[in-house]
Amino acid sequence: MIDLAMVKTHLRVRHDHDDGYIQVLIDAAAQSFNDQTNRTLIAPDGALPDPVGNALKPTKAIQQGILLLVGHWYVNREDVVIGTIATALPKATEFLWRPYRWVNVG
């Protein structure tokens, strides 16, 4: 979806020590998009695997939401950060992903 180099640029990480961890965060953020929107993200050059029609390729807004979420998780590595208000999903990410939400009717 988003390559590791782009995410490392966003995070301003110049070393390779955290590459495996950052890749886990990328995968988790993409899965979070799928879960939050009831959609299936596919690779930009991939075929649409979903017969229902809710699969889509990542737009710039979706990518930005993933970058923001990965950045949030990279800096805040614990479930609760002392001295802040706890939220389930950063508001900017929610704002970027809301238009892509797929609602099943019936």
Fill in the DSSP letter of residue 52.
T
Classify burial at 65, counting beta carbons within 10 Å of its beta carbon; exposed 0-12, middle 13-18, buried 19 or more. Answer: buried
What is the predicted pLDDT for the residue at 82?
65
Containing H/E element for 55?
A: strand 55-56
Which residue stretches of the chain are H helix? 4-11, 19-37, 60-75, 91-97
Q: Label residue 87 by pLDDT band (50, 70, 90).
A: low
**Amino acid, single-letter form, for residue 57:** K
Q: Label residue 83 by pLDDT band (50, 70, 90).
A: low
Q: What CATH number matches the domain at 4-44+52-100, 1.10.3230, 1.20.120, 3.30.980, 1.10.10?
A: 1.10.3230
Cβ(102)–Cβ(39) below 8 Å:
yes
Q: Is the model's pLDDT at 74 over the cut of 90?
A: yes
Give the position of tokens 């390729």. Answer: 57
- pTM value is 0.81
pLDDT tens-place string over residues 23-67: 999 999 999 999 999 998 888 777 666 565 788 889 999 999 999
Q: What are residue 55's DSSP bridge partners? A: 40
